[in-house]
Amino acid sequence: MKIKNVFRIGLKSKIKKTLWNYSYDEKIKECDSYKMCEDIDNDIEKLKSEILKLKKKKKSEKGNFDKRSIINLKYEIKILNKSKKKKKNIFFKELIEKNNVVFSTCSSSSNYELNKFVKMSNFLFDVVCIDECCQCTEPLCYIPISLAKKNVFLFGDHKQLSPLIKYNKNHNKLNITMFERLVNKYKENISFLLNIQYRMNHNILIWSNNIFYENKLNSHESCKNIKVDGIIGNKNKQLKNGEYEQGAKNKKNQKSKKNQKNGKNGKNSNSIDNSCEEQNEINSEVEIKKYEYYPITWIETDGFDEFLDDTKNEDMINFEIKEKKGCQTKTSEKKNGKTIVKGDKTDVKSEDNKQGIGSRNESEKREDNLEAIDAVKIKRQIENSDKYNVIDKDSEEDKLCKLNDEELNNIVKINVDEIINLNNKSRGNIGEAYFIYKLIEFMIQIDNICGNDICIITPYSKQMNILKNIFYDNFFNNKNYINEYKKIEISTVDSFQGREKEIVIFSLVCSNYFKNIGFLKDYRRLNVAITRAKRHVVIVGNSNTISNDDVLNELYETVLNYGKVYLVNELIDVESMIDLCTF
């Protein structure tokens, strides 16, 4: 269906190719006065080429006449550009007369041509609609609102992602959007809840409906019971009925026949064929044998070190290096019956900083050397402090020079948020990423599901890059399915709001001994991620890591009650999978 009388303001490069015909640059070509602009563009190009010819002349050949002519040519280009701008205003008037609807982002609604047209003609739009209003700060919303004549409609969900605020995030008033402020202030007087959803299976909705929407949402009959069966390819439905193993054997037989044909070429080919057969056997061990598509599914990775996130090394390092910069260590020495207490600052440096010394200037190197000498002294003092402790003459208990309970607590006590500040760091989880690849391999190659129907979402950009690298490196192992793999979308939660897919795989990433859940504390992100799926959502994560959080724990219990929880080793040989992983 072709939509007419619509155009989109903004950079053409940021618009999807399928929508280029609706962009401003393409729509102005339909205007009658556009041909005059084309002539101006041709004249400008000719003048620019003349300027280049004059500039290419040698300095000895250049004269005052050439310099003056260059200045004159530039002046002519300036005049032509001005006349072009005036004619563009005429284009905008023609576009507004021919088109009833104008699309733009909030920021691009401050477009030069649009605003000039509004000022010159006193034109205002009858209705202004702002979609995904909860991702816009309040000042940004005022740009399109200023173009409204009668009505303004705000569409959004303040239970989903808020705008990205970097400065003073917790106390910044920009965190509260116009939409949220108006809903909280006037409530039902100006707001209206759309309480019927037309997207997803009802079981996928249960957790979000309970946590965020007070069970006010209902599922329409058209989507209430939709399942993955509707998008599984007909070719592979027999395999779903238990003939997967037979199909795998047929594949092996075909490969062995090809290897026998190639083996006639010589001894080297035989050795290559043997290695290929061994590789195929390893790959077959790593393949997922069975998988049932419940509307909501959890892949449990608890108990497997292979599925810890990449903060595990930092956890251990920070756990051991507890004395951070600025931490005071108390040492005492006894001289002539007096107790002397010294306070020094320890400065612990990581191996990464030591490697980077070569790139610093001399003054920084000298400071580092002095700090290194101080560090050696401090180590000796710490060793002595184990033998000698602060002594009080009057107390009889300190004769044995042992630490009291308070001092022991100060040394042993671990403040995880202080020592391991991981919340603002991007994380990755190679185990989860590779498992997701194997799961999608099963979906595409065995169940013949189209890549356009699958999306992978993660809260961390680092995990997104790991997933993209794994998929790219394995494209060419399955040449028959390259096009399907390329159709799969891999993105962060923030970039996928407002969209939907038949199947969504959500990688939690956070899996560590300290139960640090990072970005998962933002429950609105979870709400967005889970509710993008229509037929099937898969959550890959460690339930133990999130067990201290009530909201996340309720998500896990919802999957237990209404879906399916798989242990990861039920689906795949974990050790073989990690051996094949190249990252």
Considering the domain architecture, whether residues 190 and 112 belong to the same structural domain is answered as: yes
Pair 399, 520 in one domain: no
Other Cβ atoms closer than 10 A to 142: 12
pLDDT score recorded for residue 501: 94
Note whether residue 373 is domain-resident.
Answer: yes
> Which of 389, 413, 437 is where one domain is finished?
413
Query: Residue 161: which of 551, 454, 527 has the closest Cα?
Result: 527
Query: Does residue 436 sit in the same domain as residue 465?
Result: yes
User: Do 295 and 331 have their domain in common?
Assistant: no
Q: Are residues 89 and 153 in the same domain?
A: yes
Domain-ending residue, one of 388, 413, 438: 413
188 within a domain of the structure (yes/no): yes
Domain enclosing residue 376, as ranges? 323-413
Q: Is 553 in the same domain as 485? A: yes
Q: Is residue 267 part of a domain?
A: no
As to burial, measured by CB atoms within 10 angstroms (0-12 exposed, 13-18 middle, 19+ buried), residue 444 is buried
SS3 category, 5 = coil
Asked if residue 149 is part of any domain, the answer here is yes
pLDDT at 433: 92
pTM of the model: 0.66
Is 32 in the same domain as 131?
yes
- Specify if 516 maps to a domain: yes
Identify whether residues 404 and 439 lie together within a single domain. no
**How many domains is the chain partitioned into structurally?**
3
Q: How far apart are the first and last CA of the chain?
A: 45
pLDDT at residue 63, as a whole number: 63
Percentages helix, strand, coil for the chain, rounded to the nearest 5? 55, 15, 30
3-state secondary structure of 566: strand
Q: Of the candidates 165, 194, 223, which is a domain's last residue? A: 194
Domain harbouring 457, CATH code:
3.40.50.300
Whether 392 and 479 map to the same domain: the answer is no
- Can you read off the two tokens belonging to residue 550? 């009530």
Alpha helices in 28-167 (DSSP H): 34-56, 64-98, 112-121, 138-145
On whether residue 252 sits in a domain, the answer given is no
Residues 6+ apart with CB under 8 A from 168: none
**Phi, psi angles (nearest 5°) of residue 195:** -95, 5
Same domain, 429 and 401: no
Q: In terms of C-beta density within 10 A (0-12 exposed, 13-18 middle, 19 or more buried), how is residue 479 classed?
A: exposed
Same domain for 388 and 445, yes or no, is no
pLDDT value for 81: 84
Whole-angstrom Cα distance, residue 484 to residue 454? 10
Does residue 150 lie in a domain region? yes
The tens place of each residue's pLDDT in the chain, 583 residues long, gives: 467 788 898 888 888 888 888 888 888 877 777 777 777 888 888 888 888 888 777 555 666 667 788 888 888 888 888 887 777 667 777 888 888 899 999 999 988 888 888 888 888 999 999 998 998 999 999 999 999 998 999 999 999 888 877 776 667 788 889 999 999 998 888 889 999 999 999 999 999 999 999 999 999 999 999 999 989 875 444 444 444 444 444 444 544 444 454 444 444 444 444 444 444 444 455 678 789 999 999 999 998 888 888 776 555 445 444 444 444 444 444 444 444 444 443 343 334 443 433 344 444 443 444 444 454 444 444 444 444 344 344 444 444 344 555 554 554 444 444 444 444 568 899 999 999 999 999 999 889 999 999 999 999 999 999 999 998 888 767 777 888 888 899 999 988 888 899 999 999 999 988 888 888 888 998 999 999 999 999 999 999 999 999 999 999 999 999 999 999 989 988 887 776 665 4
Q: Residue 207 falls within a domain, yes or no?
A: no
Looking only at the bridges linking them, the beta strands covering 564-567 and 489-492 are unpaired
Q: What is the DSSP string of 270-332?
A: HHHHHHHHHHHHHHHHHS-------SEEEEE-TT-GGG--TTHHHHHHHHH----TTEEEEEE
The pLDDT value given to residue 80 = 86
Same-domain pairing of 398 and 366: yes
Q: Which residues contact 45 (CB under 8 A, 6 or more apart)?
A: none
